[in-house]
Amino acid sequence: MSQANFQKQQRERARRERATAKLAKRTERIATPVETPTPAADQAAVLADLAALHARFEDGQLTFDDFEDAKRRLTDQLDVR
């Protein structure tokens, strides 16, 4: 087999692999459900809960680990764009 034929086969194989990867990525994106955004009223409630959490931590009612866990759960609920 000549060098030119081998290189062409390599390019074609790489092109097919890229096309397969692109198709897999596209089907994965389509299959993944889109998260519905949280309404604005809930965002205000989450921010109020976060402020209350900070106040409880500053008063010594929470340990640092409990504070971090609760803060992470609340910040995960925020709609950051």
Task: Please indicate whether residue 7 or residue 29 has the higher confidence score (pLDDT).
Answer: 7
User: What is the rounded CA–CA span in Å between residue 56 and residue 76?
Assistant: 19
Provide the residue type at 19 as one letter.
Answer: A
Rounded distance between C-alpha atoms, residue 75 and residue 77, angstroms: 5
The model's pLDDT over 30-58, given as tens digits with 9 standing for 90+, comes to 887 766 655 655 888 999 999 999 999 99
Confidence of residue 61 (pLDDT cuts 50, 70, 90): very high
Could you give the CA distance from residue 44 to residue 76 in angstroms, rounded to a whole number? 14
CB 46 within 8 A of CB 78: yes
Going from N- to C-terminal start, the domains of the chain cover 1-34, 36-81
- Confidence label for 22 from pLDDT (cuts 50, 70 and 90): very high
Q: Is the pTM of this model over 0.85?
A: no
CB neighbour class for 19 (10 Å; exposed up to 12, middle 13-18, buried from 19): exposed
